[in-house]
Structure 1
């Protein structure tokens, strides 16, 4: 694959095997070498340790709930060790400090602080870039914990120029989560998500019967897809357990 999204967001594939000591995140696993693994890479300007630094596409809720066996132990999300993460969120607060700028970002699943350290030696330091409140940004950074409080140390923060990137990221994060918790998601799950994204159900959502008729798939399949998407935190039920709406950012 070699898909490229807005804002410098890229997904790269390579044959599974090797690279386990990079401390990164891969999905797609190898079954007899027949599948490919995929990872998200940091923008070229931010790669400091290796030529390609893997990043896990996550939601803020996943970051907050990442497991640690003991203090300073590696973080684990969906059972895999994760160091670098990338996510999209709305800027809720900005707190400039002498050595860093702290952002409070909200992606609809949670709120977390993101710290971007300033480099006094660089006159054109991109970390000094201003972002408007309530605008969307993408973060690439390292998951950290200080005094039992999670935060992300950002390598790069870039404005989201196209709202489609928010949806692309959420779908990517959902795919990875479902892959590692329930196996590869069925194509129907992705199709239902895309259909809901383009529907006009609003906050009231769309009933499974309507989705079934519109997509020409069984009501049982729709309910299964809705359950998977809701458990992943990207949809929610509204007036009843069979009416689904996309989580509003």
Structure 2
């Protein structure tokens, strides 16, 4: 996919070809920008975002377009875990949590249109969207009575949890592009980039094996390497992001993080589930 003049190396095939209402990425018309080297993203493209980014998007007044990082957007895609499913005669509401926030995605049912896929309750496909399962959403951000939700065009189950990792990396890459411009050597490997199975390279693990970490477990050193090499905001990384990046369970992340906190090399930030590195 193409973000203006920036060919993103974290390209992911979402399987959304032919998605309703213009799903998929397209290049926007060139526009002025504060980020060096970026072209216009285009208001009608689909932007990968975290739920926190969606909830924090600016909208000066109810009729204004939404903006994130100073760039207008209309459609979004995100991944998360389904916390609840509420079925109504006219819509199905999914409450979705990605570790950065919770938002509702509403998929409306056109009961008068027999071709509407939402009205066909196919047991095989619908049964895969279950509570505590992961899903990907494409849709438009909307606000009603000061509460935001996503009007979903498509919601499908995530069958490969690596997709969660890919999405967070892609949302981070787009955010950094709009706020800092295209990186130097954008066509090459970036620091902290993981391999296809979400594991850190041997060199990255070794780089975290400093003398002050010699007494902690290999798991803790891997978590330290992940915090050191993964692009992030000043808030650090949430436990779910670390777990998906490393391909391990969240309870393992908590174990290793406790060791690193005790060693005085990381600290909690916005909550007890988010950590950042102490400045060396």
TM range (shorter): 0.5 to 0.7
Written as runs of structure 1 = structure 2, the 5 A alignment for 1:130-169 is 130=127, 131-169=129-167
Question: Does the 8 A contact of 2:82 with 2:94 survive in 1?
Answer: yes
1:57 to 44, 48, 63: 48
Which of these two proteins has the greater Rg computed from alpha carbons? 2
- Contact 1:75/1:81 (<8 A) preserved: yes
Matching of residues 1-249 of structure 1 within 5 Å: 12-13=1-2, 27=3, 29-30=4-5, 36=7, 43-48=16-21, 54-123=45-114, 125-127=116-118, 128=121, 129-130=126-127, 131-185=129-183, 187-191=189-193, 197-198=198-199, 209-210=208-209, 225=229, 228-231=231-234, 234-235=237-238, 238=257, 239-240=260-261, 242-243=265-266
- The 10-residue stretch of structure 1 (172-181 or 231-240) with the greater mean CA deviation from structure 2: 231-240
Ranges in structure 2 where 5+ consecutive residues have no aligned partner: 27-43, 219-224, 243-256, 276-280
Aligned 8 A contact 1:109 1:233 in 2: no
The residue that corresponds to 2:39 in the other structure is none
Secondary structure at 1:210's aligned position in 2?
coil
Select the structure that is richer in strand: 1
Give the secondary structure class of the aligned counterpart of 1:198.
coil
CA pair 207-50 structure 1, distance change in 2 beyond 3 A? closer
**1:85-122 Cα distance to aligned partner (Å, 9 max, x none):** 00001110011111111110000110000000002134
| SS of match in other structure, 2:169 | helix
Match of 2:41 in 1: none
Deviation for aligned residue 1:234 = 4.3
Distance in 2, matches of 1:104 and 1:235, equals 19
> Which consecutive residues of structure 1, in runs of 5 or more, have no partner in the other structure?
1-11, 14-26, 200-205, 215-220
After TM superposition, the score normalised by the length of structure 2 is 0.60
How far apart are the structure 2 equivalents of 1:178 and 1:190? 14
Deviation sequence 1:116-137 (CA, Å, 0-9, x none): 0002134464324341110011
Shift of 1:46: 2.7
Task: Compute the RMSD of aligned alpha carbons.
Answer: 4.1
SS in structure 2 of the partner of residue 231 of structure 1: coil
User: How far apart are residue 47 of structure 1 and its match?
Assistant: 3.3
